[in-house]
Amino acid sequence: MRWRPVVAVAVLVAGVATARFTVCDPVRVSSGSMAPTVCTGDVVAVDHLGPRRGLAVDDIVTFASPTDGSEQIKRVVAVGGQKVGIADAVLELDGHPVDEPYVDRATIDGVYFGPVVVPQGTVFVMGDNRELSVDSRAFGPLPVDAVDGRLAATFWSACPS
């Protein structure tokens, strides 16, 4: 009978530890590809509970890079069925310019891409720091099943004010 409380506490601790690593993780960002929204050194919370459900344009998601397997963080700029392109540094979605105050267009002036239609079951992801970001422009649309997290909060920002 004395072992039951010990087992109950052990199960509770294991459950909390598992939840921490499967539901929501604190993560220190090691890349500047999302600056100025998420900067190198930021500490963010990544939600792993159902990150693929209801993905929408402007969601910031995490996934393993299709090129080298490293964990990446990028913004969803288009979902399956939408047409996405860049014309002289301006993101266009379904033929309409997108207001992106977080993108420094001066650094990518003269950049053109696409347009391409995003296949169903995939998302097109890009970093906010377009000049330095390796994203769907390089590796193509990302399968929704490859998304392993969604930005939930920023605990501490290293971004310059």
CA–CA separation, 158 and 40 (whole Å): 7
What torsion, rounded to 10 degrees, do the Cα atoms 128, 131, 134, 137 define? 90
Mark whether 65 is an active-site residue. Answer: no
Amino acid at 101: P
Among the listed residues 33, 65, 70, 161, the single catalytic one is: 33
For residue 128, the tally of other CB atoms under 10 A from its CB is 23
Catalytic, 83? Answer no
Indicate which residues carry an active-site annotation. 33, 74
